Structure 1
Amino acid sequence: MTPRPGGPVAVTGLGLVSAAGTDVDSNWKTVLAGVSTAAEDPRLADLPHRVTCRVPEMDLTGLLGRGRAWRLDRFVQLALVAARQAVADAGLDGGAWDGARVAVVLGAALGGTATWEAQHSRFHDHGPARISPLVLPMCLPNMASGEVAIDLGTRGPSLSVSTACASGTTAVGLARDLLLQDRCDVALAGATEACLSPFTVTAFGRMNALADPAQPAARASRPFDADRSGFVMGEGAGVLVLERPDDARGRGAAVRALVTGFGSSSDAYHSTAPDPSGKSAALAVHAALADAGLGPGDVQHVNAHGTSTRLNDITEAGLIARTYDASPSVTATKGVTGHTLSAAGALEAAYTVLAIQHGVTPPVANLTRVDDCAGIDLIHGGSRREAVQVAVSHSFGFGGHNAVLVVQRA
């Protein structure tokens, strides 16, 4: 059965924190420049894999207050910074809104890994009496949405999403559903991740998922490039403020773009590898387009999941070539930001919004020798001026989670 269009929601605010920058403007400037942020990480100096994409230094104590910054893991700190940015960008006042009608839907896959590692070492070295009583509230993945709700005084639905690297996209889709079902009037949607800790990076390295450490750091993240060897881990948070278009117009808000469709599916194939046929990912694409009342020929631009791994890029390139009728332009911003895991879909949804709003699409960083298997219109060598009306953003995660958003010009 073909899904019935559910209706658009307006994106009225954005908040972004990534290795590309600590606010929306710096993120967009870096992504448009197509310059990788990957670098040798001194905190991982003794490990085989020591290249990451870390968020630039921020005064988190000044931004959040000493007490709050001290008692929160970094993944929650980044979420709070991004959420506050998004609310301010939307022109909303947390002290004036009806908190019972504001929802928070945030993805977080791994939670407070750095805190877990530090506290486990303390337990091992010094015994149970030295473990902080704050370990659990610092580490639980749901604390991103919980602490954002506490910080901003939102009392509507507060949901935590964990669909691995599809979490941010899934969160935006679920938040849209809440708005269309009149469960809230404003929704803060996105995701956060901060897991550049020795154990977690090593775990991904042992899976052979990470870029060859012999490659130069600045060239290591290279989606769809024939010489790619794996992804570079990043950290960050992205939050979008969503409202029903009539509500946004009624309060005079500026609408950056519209989210008009969402689709999800499961590969039911393998715990970590994508189904090479792409058939289940295509189900998510078609569901999102049907939800938006559109067809494959309407899509002009794709923000690809583009992890820089051989299996994902080949599978996704085939999906794009087979699914879209009009040969859309394709970017993959992980070449700049690295793979921020659960936060990736939220960051990339925001970059898709910005591409539509500003009429320019960003290049794939480090793409110098396009893989022969690609056969798609990859943007490289510089940004491209495009008056995009309809774009999609893909996200795929371990466990076979697929999630796709349709974004349109307002």
Structure 2
Amino acid sequence: MTIAGIGAVTGYGWGRETFWQGLLSGASAASTQSGYGPGRDQDAWVSLVPDGGDPQVSASRYGRAVHAAAREAITDARDRGWQPGRTVGLLHAIVLGDVANWRDFYLIDNGHRRSRDYLPLLPSTPISVLLQEFGFHGPTMNVSAACSSANVALITAKLWLNAGMADDVLCVATDLSATPDMVEHFVQLGASVADAEPLQACRPFQAGSRGFGIGEASVAFVLTRSADRPYAAVLGGAMTNDAYHVISVDPSHERILDCARRALADAGVRATDVTYFNAHGSGTRQCDVAEHHLVGHVFADRPHIYALKPLVGHCQGASAAVEVAAAALSYDRGIVPAAPIVASAHPRLLDGAAAFEGGITAKLSLGMGGNNSVVLLGAA
């Protein structure tokens, strides 16, 4: 299965090229937002998707972002030689859905709306609107596995293609949930940091990391076996669950290590074949410890390491899609858009954008509830 088209809406703005140039700048997509800090009377650093998109599609920023990412990916894939097969499926990776719109539904509209204004709240609506526009009739499904959702959607798409359930799959991952109340609770959990610029606070594989800054994104992929100039191949993947705690990672890391080994086996590659480790990179202590263990124990500290959450923020259910998009673009453009190092770091951590050496990329994604996933990418 290959990635034939990419669309992206991120904190850097609307569009794949805006996303790419933002990464290469080495600057965070975050800015200070009024009313997001403690007590709602202070500023906080958040990577919000700016307003934009097609107002004819939806009154909701969420709905417009879903549609914009999908449209861009489909146009991109067609430009790269993709012709839709008879059956095109659609997977949408989500966790909380249209949070801001649900908030307004209850707090502003008191739970009363016209049907046409209520329907966009339902997770089935963005999918239906996309299918109608493009005439796709394949299987459709929402995928939810916490912050591992986008990786899981890619693995599910591969299963669909292997089983013959679809000829092609449009995979979209969306999370625009960075409202003040959501930021507040992640800060209270000790996972997120909102009082400092993300590159200083979020330091995966570096000393002094305090946690992640929250971000938003909608990213889409066209996945197929038939395209003239695909970006990269999805070689395989795996999922496991710690079954340990609703927030904390199992300190043995046994299931994370097993997930990586299963993904390697599914892809038919060896750990020594992996050139790049695209980290989950949340910058929390337990994540850093787990990823150090994985890179050392399974990959013998061989791969180059890079993490993108210091740049784009932690985009929750869409986080893996943002990071897979960057990895796939690396194969096409010969550059790895890593975040700059700001403190004492792991010797294999890349310091800013670097020339891409080729080889296989392992993408780890972890999610609350013990959700672990690894996807292996390679040259198309």
Aligned to 1:15: 7
Specify the alignment match of 2:96 in structure 1: 110
**Runs of 5+ consecutive residues of structure 2 not aligned to the other structure:** none
- Map Cα deviations across residues 169-216 of structure 1 (whole Å, 9 max, x no partner): 110111111111111111111310101212222222221221152x24
- Residue in 2 aligned with 1:69? 58
Letter in 2 for 1:334: K
Structure 1 Cα separation of the partners of residues 199 and 31 of structure 2: 6
User: How many Å separate the matches in 2 of 1:151 and 1:221?
Assistant: 40
The alignment status of 1:39 with 2:24, answered yes or no, reads: no
The corresponding residue for 1:390 is 360
Q: Distance in 2 between matches of 1:23 and 1:319?
A: 33
Change (3 A) 1:42 1:352: same
Partner of 2:272: helix, strand, or coil?
helix
Cα distance, 1:362 vs structure 2: 2.0
Which is further off, 254-263 or 313-322? 313-322
* CA–CA separation in structure 2 for the residues paired with 1:398 and 1:77: 27
Measure, in 2, the Cα distance between the counterparts of 1:143 and 1:396.
28
1:198-254 CA distances to partner (integer Å, 9 max, x unpaired)? Answer: 2222222221221152x246633333332221211111111111111xx32xxxx21
Aligned residue number for residue 200 of structure 1 = 182
User: Partner of 1:119 in structure 2?
Assistant: 105
Alignment of 1:230 with 2:211, yes or no, is yes
Which letter maps to 2:261? H
Distance, in Å, in 2 between the alignment partners of 1:217 and 1:107 is 25
Which residue, out of 87, 107, 121, partners 1:139? 121
1:113-262 → structure 2 map (5 Å cutoff):
113-122=99-108, 127=110, 130-133=112-115, 137-211=119-193, 213=195, 215-216=196-197, 219-244=200-225, 247-248=226-227, 253-262=228-237
1-side partners of 2:4 and 2:139: how far apart? 19
Equivalent of 2:248 in 261, 273, 292: 273
Q: 1:379 aligned to 2:368? A: no
Q: Following TM superposition, by how much is the alpha carbon of 1:397 offset from its aligned partner in structure 2, in angstroms? A: 0.4
Distance of 1:138 and 1:76 partners within structure 2: 8
Change (3 A) 1:208 1:138: farther
SS at match of 2:245: coil
| 1:113–1:355 CA distance, 2 compared to 1 (3 A) | same
Which residue in 2 is equivalent to 1:3? none
Distance 1:181 1:148 in 2: 24
Q: Which residue is 2:370 aligned to?
A: 400
Residue identity matched to 2:350: I
Q: Does 1:85 align with 2:85?
A: no
Aligned partners of 2:321, 2:69: CA distance in 1, in Å?
11
Can you list the C-alpha shifts for 1:57-114, whole angstroms capped at 9, x where unaligned?
Answer: 42432xxx1xx322xx333321111000000001179xx856x600011100011111
Output the CA distance in 2 between the equivalents of 1:184 and 1:360.
32
Structure 1's 143 and 284: CA in aligned 2 closer, same or farther, altered over 3 A? farther
Q: CA contact under 8 A between 1:49 and 1:201: conserved in structure 2?
A: no
Contact kept? 1:146, 1:158, Cα under 8 Å: no
Identity, in percent, stands at: 28
Deviation of 1:302 after TM superposition, in Å, equals 1.1
Alpha-carbon deviation of 1:383?
1.5
What is the TM-score normalised by the length of structure 1? 0.85
Equivalent residue number for residue 344 of structure 1: 319
The residue number in structure 2 matching 1:55 is: 49
User: Shift of the alpha carbon at 1:26?
Assistant: 2.0
* Aligned position for 1:4: none
User: Is 1:296–1:326's contact at 8 Å kept on the other side of the alignment?
Assistant: no
User: What is the aligned length?
Assistant: 376
Give the TM-score normalised by the residue count of structure 2. 0.92
1:140 CA displacement: 3.3
Matched letter for residue 58 of structure 2: A
Name the residue aligned to 1:334. Answer: 309
11, 23, 30: which one aligns with 2:22: 30
| Distance verdict in 2 for CA 1:328–1:204, change over 3 Å | same
How far apart in 1 are the matches of 2:307 and 2:65?
A: 23
Cα 1:304–1:49 change in 2 (3 A) is: farther
Q: Report Cα offsets for 1:326-370 as digits up to 9, x if no partner.
A: 6100111111100000101111111111122222222224x3113
Which residue identity lines up with residue 366 of structure 2 in the other structure? Answer: F
| Stretches (4+) displaced over 6 A | none
Cα 1:203–1:85 change in 2 (3 A) is same
* Distance verdict in 2 for CA 1:122–1:220, change over 3 Å: same
Q: Give the Cα–Cα distance (whole angstroms) in 2 for the partners of residues 22 and 349 of structure 1.
A: 17
Answer whether contact 2:52 2:61 (CA < 8 A) is retained. Answer: no
Contact 1:39 1:218 in 2 (8 A): no
Name the SS for the 1:355 alignment partner.
helix
Q: CA RMSD, aligned part only?
A: 2.2
Aligned position for 1:6: none
SS in 2 for 1:179: helix
| Residue deviations 1:283-305 (CA, integer Å, cap 9, x gap) | 11111111111111110001100
1:19-43 Cα distance to aligned partner (Å, 9 max, x none) = 1332222212221332111111136
Q: Structure 2: how far apart are the matches of 1:407 and 1:216?
A: 31
